[in-house]
Each structure stands twice: as structure tokens, then as C-alpha cells.
């Protein structure tokens, strides 16, 4: 999945590579999702073709209706049954009228007849643009999209009006949309630009969207407990401190390419009542302009990324972080490159490299996993999903997690070459976590001891995929804490859990 087309590739617990939106859903509902929570056109067509080849359609001509739509509905029902949830939220992406989304819209149209009108609610998200010159909101795009939606047989039960202005929509505008689009006035809700994405649920709650859903689906009404969420948003919007993190990568011009890393850093900032300013730096710029681009950063994070482009810049950034004692966090490739930098500049292995960059390297500090050699199919064949890790007591990582048996998600093909462990340990590198793969120990975490560096950690995993605004990823939390100490001569004390609960209770 090309980052320039898809943005970040999000990985689920069971190893599915999905669109980044699924990551946002996990962060908002604080639940781990799986591959069944994501369905694509390719998956649907593949399943239908396989059924046809097995003779399940008894030789009938395969058509969009009913075969494609039935497969989509079956997928939705499987998710609902497996989750045992009271409400299953289904997002159909795209724009009404697009060819790509028509089979999915037809499938959800049929759902109303399949499960009963009282068990289906259609919520239509639409744009209400603001015209600057006349300073007014325009409802014509909403009227047009609803007409297109009704033209294919779907009457929305609620209309969520996306607006860029922070000003409330005038009541007469909501009444106009309700009248022209045939929905109750109370079912027209505004979704304004929010200073923090985590403020959106609070905005929608204030607009009454949940009440509309409760009435439509005939659910028991309950008062939501939003105190914790309000506390999160309040700390995100009113931080006491500020740090700058240099995010070094190869896709930095595309904001969505590192969206989970961004969010994990923000979550860590919330835990420390700290605003995290992310300075995105292209590793190729470091190659051209030098490490001066890193000056002023209180912490340096080298992001994942396949291939040789920008590796020299990442090596330079890591060397700068190590020598200048700037807190460092390496994620996946960022851990591997940190090992190469250490091998070259500390262990004296001048030709150290990864076989991902140089297949003929005489010093393959990072090398293929044995089962990754001679692959004929590359899609979905990496080390994907959650893997266990045993941490070494007394390490920075063990202190961060507060336990020795952990699990994090992965997405990679290459591993640290274990034959270099003795020389690394001889020169001070600490191996802080391992995955036991049969008789082989795979290195999961590397560190520099505090006698060598205040905070230097690299992990083969992607802990950002499991970070939540109310449960920040432990390594990101402690990395931002180290950056905070680096930025203040006398580091501010982080609020204790008891103090946070007191603040939350007070707000409730």
C-alpha cells in the first residue's frame, strides 16, 4: 500500500493491513478491531469469484445484484454477530454518485428490508461550505447530495453538516435543510471544525446526534459518562508545557503517512499536560543540509519506511541524537537504522548495513528473517499483527510498561542479526526485549543504558497502533517525558493519577 495513495497503512491485532481510518476508530472507541472490520471492493469481488468457481451459484450469471450486494451484506452481518454489539456502525466511504461506492450503497439500502426498518438508521455526512465574500453558509451541495442519495433509494434519517466555520449554523438554515431533505429538524446536526479531533464527539453530543440515534433505533436512553473525555480534550487544548519533537522520515510532506505516530505523540503530550509540536523533517534534507535542521528539537523520532532512500539522513539524525544526548525513539526501521549507526560509530563495524539496502553487505547487521527469503508473493506476507515480547527487568522499556510480558503490533520483513549481539553488548548496547520464536530469540527492543544516554530506545514494533488518548503508548509517553526533561532545566512534575481523577471528578 503506497503511502502517497493510502496515507498510513494501519495494522490490526490479527495482522490486517487497512486504511488509516480504522486506526481513528480504535482510538475513539478504545477497542481492538480485526480484519473483519475492514472490507474493500477487492475483497468482495475475490470472495464472489471464489464462490462462483466452487459452484455455489449453480452456474448462474454473476451480477452486481444480487451476488456482490449479498456478499457485502453478509460481511456486515458477520461483523455484527461476531462482536455481540448492540449497534454496528458501518461507514460507506466515497461520494454519493461515485461508481465505486454504488454497490455498497445498494447493499445498505437492502439492509433495511433484511433486518427491519426499526433496526437501521442512515446518517448522511455532507459538506455545508462557507463562502467568504458574502459570509454565508450554502446548503445547495447538501440538497444535491441528498437528492442523489434518495435517487438510489436511501432516505437519510440524520444529516451531519460538515462546516469549516466555528460559528453555529443559524436555526433557519437547519430548518431549510430539514424541509428540503425531508428529515426532522432535530436530525440536522452541525459538525464544525474542532481545535482537537477529540473534541468532535463532544460537539456531536451537544448537537443531539446520539438522541436521534436512540429514538430511531428504539434504544434505552442513558446519560453518557463523558467526564474522562472532557478531561482529555481540556488537557489537549490547555497544556501547561510545550516540547518540540523532530519526526524524521521519508514521507513527511504527506501528513497522513505518519498519522498514528502523530496521534501517539499527542496522547503522550496529554498525559504530561504538554503540547507536542511535531517538526517533520525529510531525511533527504538532512543529507543535503546537515543535522542543523534538528537543532532546537527536544526529542528525535525516526519513523518507519522501506527502502534505501533517505537512509543516510536517518543515520546522521540518530548519530546526532546519540552524541548530543537528545532523547531518541526509533520505530521499526528507526530501530534498525539505530543499530547500524551504533555498529558503525561505536562498534567500529564500518560496513554495517541492512540487506534491505544492500543485499551483498559483508556486515548485515539487519537481515531477512529466514522465512522471508525467496518469496513469490509479497502482499500480506510480512511479519504482521500482534507479537509477544518479554522485557528485561530494570530496563527503560520495562519501567515504561510496568510489566515484563507485553504485546505490540508489527509490520516488517527484516530483523536484527543475532550474531552481532555479543559485540553490541560489549560496547554498551542493551537488548531490552525479545520475542521467542521457537529456538530463536528475535530482538524486539534496544536501548542505551542511562550511563551512556538519558533516554535512547528503539523498538521493532509499532506501539503507536495501540495508543489511545486515555491510554498513551508507554514508550511514547516516556519518550515525551524525557523530551520534557530535556527542554526544562527543572522538569515539571507530571500530574499524578490521583490528581487527574480529582480533576476529572470535579469536571463531572
- The SS3 call for residue 414 is strand
Please give the pLDDT value at position 371.
52
Mean pLDDT computed over 410-428: 94
E strand or H helix at 115? helix 102-115
Give the pLDDT confidence of 447-471 residue by residue, as tens digits.
999 999 999 999 999 999 999 999 9
In 303-413, the DSSP E strands lie at: 328-331, 352-354, 363-368, 383-391, 405-412
pLDDT tens digit sequence for 248-266: 998 888 888 899 999 999 9
* pLDDT over 90 at 318, yes or no: yes
What is the C-alpha to C-alpha distance for residues 480 and 471, in angstroms, rounded to an integer?
Answer: 14
Q: Is the predicted pLDDT of residue 207 greater than 70, yes or no?
A: yes
Question: Interior CA angle at 501 toward 499 and 505, to 5°?
Answer: 120
In the predicted model, is pLDDT for residue 85 greater than 50? yes
Give the tens place of pLDDT for each residue, 138-167: 999 999 999 999 999 999 999 999 998 777
**Mean pLDDT confidence for 15-22:** 91
pLDDT for 130 equals 87
The residue-averaged pLDDT of 354-369 equals 89
Res 505 pLDDT > 60: no
pLDDT averaged over every residue in the chain:
90
**pLDDT level of residue 306 (50, 70, 90 thresholds):** confident
What is the rounded CA–CA span in Å between residue 444 and residue 331? 11
pLDDT at 370: 60
Which ranges in the chain are annotated with CATH 3.40.50.880? Answer: 241-487
Higher pLDDT, 134 or 410: 410
Q: Is the pLDDT of residue 497 over 80?
A: no
Q: Which residue has the higher pLDDT, 211 or 167?
A: 211
Residue among 128, 144, 161 nearest 96 (CA): 144
Domain limits, CATH 3.40.50.300, in the chain = 122-216
Catalytic positions are: 332, 462, 464
* CA–CA dist 307, 314 (Å, integer): 12
Q: Which CATH superfamily is domain 122-216 in?
A: P-loop containing nucleotide triphosphate hydrolases (3.40.50.300)
Q: List the CATH code of the domain at 241-487.
A: 3.40.50.880
pLDDT at position 503: 37
Amino acid at each position: 500500500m503506497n503511502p502517497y495513495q493510502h496515507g498510513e497503512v494501519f495494522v490490526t491485532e490479527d495482522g490486517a493491513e487497512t486504511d488509516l481510518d480504522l486506526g481513528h476508530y480504535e482510538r475513539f472507541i478504545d477497542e481492538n478491531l480485526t480484519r473483519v472490520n475492514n472490507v474493500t471492493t477487492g475483497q468482495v469481488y475475490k470472495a464472489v469469484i471464489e464462490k462462483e468457481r466452487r459452484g455455489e451459484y449453480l452456474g448462474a450469471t454473476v451480477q452486481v445484484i444480487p451476488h456482490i450486494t449479498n456478499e457485502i451484506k453478509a460481511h456486515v452481518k458477520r461483523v455484527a454477530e461476531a462482536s455481540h454489539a448492540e449497534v454496528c456502525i458501518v461507514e460507506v466511504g466515497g461520494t454519493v454518485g461515485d461508481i465505486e461506492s454504488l454497490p455498497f450503497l445498494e447493499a445498505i439500502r437492502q439492509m433495511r428490508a433484511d433486518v427491519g426498518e426499526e433496526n437501521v438508521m442512515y446518517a448522511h455526512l455532507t459538506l455545508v461550505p462557507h463562502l467568504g465574500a458574502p459570509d454565508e453558509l450554502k446548503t445547495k451541495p447538501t440538497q444535491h447530495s441528498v437528492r442523489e442519495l434518495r435517487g438510489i433509494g436511501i432516505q437519510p434519517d440524520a444529516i451531519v453538516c460538515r462546516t469549516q466555520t466555528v460559528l453555529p449554523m443559524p436555526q433557519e438554515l437547519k430548518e431549510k435543510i430539514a424541509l428540503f431533505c425531508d428529515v426532522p429538524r432535530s436530525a440536522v446536526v452541525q459538525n464544525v471544525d474542532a481545535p482537537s479531533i477529540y473534541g468532535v464527539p463532544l460537539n456531536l453530543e451537544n448537537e443531539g446526534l446520539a438522541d436521534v440515534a436512540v429514538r430511531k433505533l428504539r434504544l434505552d436512553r442513558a446519560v453518557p459518562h463523558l467526564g474522562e473525555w472532557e478531561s482529555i480534550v481540556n488537557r489537549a487544548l490547555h497544556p501547561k508545557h510545550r516540547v518540540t519533537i523532530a519526526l524524521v522520515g521519508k514521507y513527511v510532506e504527506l501528513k497522513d503517512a505518519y498519522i498514528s505516530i502523530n496521534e501517539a505523540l499527542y496522547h503522550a503530550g496529554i498525559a504530561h499536560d504538554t503540547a507536542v509540536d511535531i517538526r517533520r523533517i525529510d531525511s533527504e534534507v538532512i543529507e543535503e543540509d546537515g543535522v542543523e535542521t534538528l537543532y532546537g528539537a527536544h526529542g528525535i523520532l525516526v519513523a518507519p519506511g522501506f527502502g534505501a532512500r533517505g537512509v543516510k539522513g536517518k543515520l546522521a539524525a540518530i548519530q546526532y541524537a546519540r552524541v548530543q544526548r537528545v532523547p531518541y525513539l526509533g520505530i521499526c526501521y528507526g530501530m534498525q537504522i539505530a543499530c547500524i549507526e551504533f555498529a558503525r560509530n561505536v562498534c567500529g563495524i564500518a560496513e554495517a548495513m541492512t540487506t534491505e539496502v544492500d543485499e551483498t553487505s559483508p556486515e548485515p547487521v539487519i537481515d531477512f528473517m529466514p522465512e522471508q527469503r525467496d518469496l513469490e508473493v509479497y502482499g500480506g506476507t510480512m511479519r504482521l499483527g500482534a507479537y509477544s515480547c518479554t522485557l528485561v527487568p530494570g530496563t527503560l522499556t520495562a519501567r515504561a510498561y510496568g510489566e515484563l510480558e507485553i504485546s505490540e503490533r508489527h509490520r516488517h520483513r527484516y530483523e536484527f542479526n543475532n550474531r552481532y549481539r555479543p559485540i553490541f553488548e560489549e560496547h554498551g548496547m542493551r537488548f531490552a526485549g525479545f520475542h521467542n520464536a521457537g529456538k530463536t530469540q528475535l530482538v524486539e527492543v534496544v536501548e542505551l543504558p542511562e550511563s551512556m544516554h538519558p533516554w535512547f530506545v528503539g523498538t521493532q514494533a509499532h506501539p503507536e497502533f495501540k495508543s489511545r488518548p486515555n491510554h498513551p503508548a508507554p514508550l511514547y509517553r516516556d519518550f515525551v517525558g524525557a523530551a520534557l526533561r530535556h527542554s526544562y532545566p527543572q522538569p515539571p512534575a507530571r500530574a499524578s493519577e490521583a490528581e487527574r481523577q480529582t480533576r476529572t471528578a470535579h469536571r463531572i
